[in-house]
Amino acid sequence: MKYRTAEDLKPLLFDEEERVVNQIPREKVDVYAYLNYNFDSTYVPDDTIYQFVFRHFFKLDNPSLTNEFEEEYFKLMEEQRSEERPNIVQITKNLYNIKNHKGNPTMQFPLAAAMLHAINPVFPSYDSDIAKAFDFSSTYHLSGFDKKMKRYMGQYQHAFSTYKELLEDEAVQPLIVHFNEKFPDHRELPEVKKLELIVGQLGHSMQ
């Protein structure tokens, strides 16, 4: 699969630098910052406010998912916070085994990625905007857990290595500086998340 690389993304980000960074919604940064700053000090399964904000930000409010799914999701998140290297394949499998309202298993890789990202932002998140920015191909037509998982993991690893490459490139730093100037109260956010917010906004503009 040919996805957009760091070299592909850089001209898109710089050509649209002012627009991309300036169009990142203040609410989105504030909400993410709340989740990031409060994760270490909360016990997620009992913190209904944290859960509410998380569900809104990471689109966990899916009408096809059950209350059992949400309860198990936040329990699993709490269990995984102590793991040095959480296993995203196993997390996705655990979520897959929780049936939806129709009694069917569902592939919820983006929510598994959101869980890891909340625990440690070095792990990328995954949503439709990110997929659009990287030109990730859909897994919808693939049958079975293993085929879908293989496709998702290739995309996930690509995003991880691309963010790393971009952050190590001095030419990308003006983007981060611009972000800090626009959101001076959120300078303490991890740089990888600042970059991901910028890339996500680029993808959103491609809709």
121-158: pLDDT as tens digits: 999 999 999 999 999 998 888 888 999 999 999 999 99
* Residues near 162 by beta carbon (within 8 Å), at least 6 away in sequence: 4, 5, 6, 9, 134
* Residues near 136 by beta carbon (within 8 Å), at least 6 away in sequence: 3, 130, 155
Listed residue (190, 194, 161) closest to 176, CA to CA: 194
Q: Which of 3-12, 99-108, 123-132, 190-199 has the lowest mean pLDDT?
A: 99-108
- Give CA 25 to chain center in angstroms: 16
Amino acid at site 148: K
- Report pTM: 0.91
Q: In angstroms, what CA-CA distances link 137 with 16, 37, 207?
A: 24, 33, 15
List the helix and strand counts (H, then E) for the chain.
11, 0
| CA–CA separation, 197 and 20 (whole Å) | 10
Q: What average pLDDT does the structure give for the chain?
A: 92
150-180: pLDDT as tens digits: 999 999 999 999 999 999 999 999 999 999 9
